[in-house]
Amino acid sequence: MSDTHVVTNQVPPLEDFNPAAAPVLTEALIREGGEWGLDEVAQLGGLAGGRTAQRWGELADRHRPVLHTHDRTGHRIDEVEYDPAYHELMNVAVGHGLHAAPWADDRPGSHVVRAAKNSVWTPEPGHLCPISMTYAVVPALRHNPELAAIYEPLLTSRVYDPELAVPTTKPGITAGMSMTEKQGGSDVRAGTTEATPNGDGTWSLRGHKWFTSAPMCDVFLVLAQASGGERSDGGKSGGLSCFFLPRILPDGTRNRMFLQRLKDKLGNHANASSEVEYDGATGWLVGQEGRGVRTIIEMVNLTRLDCTLGSATSMRTGVMRAAHHAQHRKAFGAYLIDQPLMRNVLADLAVEAEAATMLAMRMAGATDRAVRGDERETLLRRIGLAAAKYWVCKRATPHAAEAMECLGGNGYVEDSGMPRLYREAPLMGIWEGSGNVSALDTLRAMATRPECVDVLFDELAVTDGHDPRLDAHVRSLRPQLEDLATIQYRARQVAEDIALALQGSLLVRHGHPAVAEAFLASRLGGQWGGAFGTLPTGLDLAPVIERALVKA
């Protein structure tokens, strides 16, 4: 009914924007060695902000995947049916190399370009779970060179084929991972799934996994306790080990992995997350027996990078949508974007998003250099990524809530896209190492690779003398790391302070001066209230907000 009133003061839909036009992202892409990918990233960003991809995102989220355990005649099939829009999203993601493609690309910066592409492919985050796992599986799989020789070309292929078939008959495949069991997710060593050798080089797995996302992937890395067999070198077998399981075996039969049900989740709706029973499933050992955690951790490190990138992306998306709304919505006679308190909120959200993006992309750059053998960057990534995963992911949820609130009641309504952003945000903090686990991993980095502390301070020393607030923050870090008696209790504070130091240092060196000053004055200057929108007075907020505005 439109006769009762005239519709005014509603905000135009956010269409035909380009997430790749965010200055903080392109600056980081260039700085971290991915300048050659600028055009590709911009092209994908244009697609992401277009109406078609936005619609795919809505449909894939709204029409949740459905599990079919049996066919109509009662045979087990264990297949998940997705909305066609999910496959469209996957097709673009694989086609643009957001998955394992950088492993087949020797160009320095290929992992940075991939990180930027992941950061602009924003229509829907759930499908990025299998994309991320397919990226992350490659270094772990290389622990079995024979398997890697067969499957790596298929994992890096840019063809998406959703059909279940013998992996080697497909033009391209995707990969997942199964670690978490009912009795333990962070503590994977508590896993009880057993693997028994078959005597022909394969193993039989029996047990369960409590979470296995994207179960329609073609291949999985699975942790299980190796038992019952004699090793060829005469040694005792046993211990948590990593296994490679295809869904369809080389002879064309279905592997004995049975999907029990799909999780009814808070968000991440497009991504099916299943409970699986392994009842004599066939697997191949990857890496050494008893070294399963060490093998699969290489996969986890990369998915942690994607969680950090994903949280930064969520923040940029949130503040962009909030700023768009504030630009077009009036209250009390003026546009929201012109009202001082809203400017404080928007600028504060923008500062957080920029700091998160710079740190996440720095870690992508460190990853790129680490995989090419750079030991210093390997060490920096070891400590920096643990701290970044903790802090950036921890900030994403309050950020999404505040960005949603900028849209008022409209923000709480699905059409705005903000509920989806909000529901997704805590997930980045939970999986691949929940907050405490990531914070404790920061300590573990220091304990197992003490050299990474020197590398960290070396990195921070570059900005020594540039700003007294940053200097004071960095000076206060050392004693925090040295008091070992209480360090576990303080692990969150330690991880936060390391992340803030890295963010401050990046901003001082490379950030827009107004963004850097707002960050230093609030996060390191002690003049910050804790809620977004409590920046101190006297800051130049215009360029900070300008950088967050929607761009085509």
Ligand X SMILES: Cc1cc2nc3c(=O)[nH]c(=O)nc-3n(C[C@H](O)[C@H](O)[C@H](O)COP(=O)(O)OP(=O)(O)OC[C@H]3O[C@@H](n4cnc5c(N)ncnc54)[C@H](O)[C@@H]3O)c2cc1C
For residue 239, which phi and psi values (nearest 5 degrees)? 100, 160
Q: Which residues pair with 221 in a beta bridge?
A: 177, 244
Q: 223 or 342, CB closer to ligand X?
A: 223
CB of 495 to ligand X, least distance (A): 12
Q: Which residues in the 412-441 window bind ligand X by CB under 6 A?
A: 427, 430-432, 434-437, 440
Are 512 and 543 in contact by the 8 Å Cβ rule? The answer is yes
The reply to whether 514 sits near ligand X by the rule CB under 6 A is no
Residue 392 has which token pair? Answer: 């950036």
The reply to whether 119 sits near ligand X by the rule CB under 6 A is no
Place of tokens 């690779």: 449
Distance CA 540, CA 485 (A): 43
Are 85 and 341 in contact by the 8 Å Cβ rule? The answer is no
Are 416 and 321 in contact by the 8 Å Cβ rule? The answer is yes
CB of 262 to ligand X, least distance (A): 10
CB of 541 to ligand X, least distance (A): 36
CB of 297 to ligand X, least distance (A): 13
CA-to-CA dists, residue 462 to 56, 90, 263, 457, angstroms: 45, 41, 47, 9
Q: 195 or 514, CB closer to ligand X?
A: 195
Q: 314 or 344, CB closer to ligand X?
A: 314
The reply to whether 56 sits near ligand X by the rule CB under 6 A is no
For residue 462, which phi and psi values (nearest 5 degrees)? -60, -30
Residue type, 122: T
Q: 227 or 436, CB closer to ligand X?
A: 436
Q: DSSP character for 248? A: B
With CB under 6 A as the contact rule, the residue among 43, 186, 196, 339 that binds ligand X is 186
Q: 288 or 434, CB closer to ligand X?
A: 434
Binding string, 161-180, against ligand X, x = CB under 6 A? Answer: ---------------xxxxx
The reply to whether 443 sits near ligand X by the rule CB under 6 A is no
Residue type, 219: V
**Helical H runs in 431-490?**
435-448, 451-461, 468-482
The reply to whether 410 sits near ligand X by the rule CB under 6 A is no
Residue 544 has which token pair? Answer: 């900070």
Q: 370 or 495, CB closer to ligand X?
A: 495
CB of 279 to ligand X, least distance (A): 18
Instruction: Please give the size of the binding site for ligand X, defined by CB under 6 A.
Output: 24
Which residue's C-beta sits nearest to ligand X?
A: 185
The reply to whether 327 sits near ligand X by the rule CB under 6 A is no
CB of 73 to ligand X, least distance (A): 30
CB of 183 to ligand X, least distance (A): 8
Binding string, 193-232, against ligand X, x = CB under 6 A? Answer: ------------------xxx-------------------
Are 550 and 320 in contact by the 8 Å Cβ rule? The answer is yes
The reply to whether 184 sits near ligand X by the rule CB under 6 A is yes
CB of 293 to ligand X, least distance (A): 12
Q: 339 or 434, CB closer to ligand X?
A: 434
The dihedral sign for the CA sequence 237, 238, 241, 243: positive
Distance CA 466, CA 464 (A): 6
Distance CA 454, CA 445 (A): 12
Q: 89 or 474, CB closer to ligand X?
A: 89
Are 414 and 420 in contact by the 8 Å Cβ rule? The answer is yes
Distance CA 548, CA 319 (A): 7
Binding string, 256-275, against ligand X, x = CB under 6 A? Answer: ---------x--x----x--
Q: 432 or 459, CB closer to ligand X?
A: 432
Distance CA 283, CA 242 (A): 9
The dihedral sign for the CA sequence 56, 59, 60, 65: negative
Q: 140 or 474, CB closer to ligand X?
A: 140
3-state DSSP assignment of residue 408: helix
Task: Please report, as ranges, the residues that interact with ligand X according to CB under 6 A.
Answer: 176-180, 184-187, 211-213, 265, 268, 273, 427, 430-432, 434-437, 440
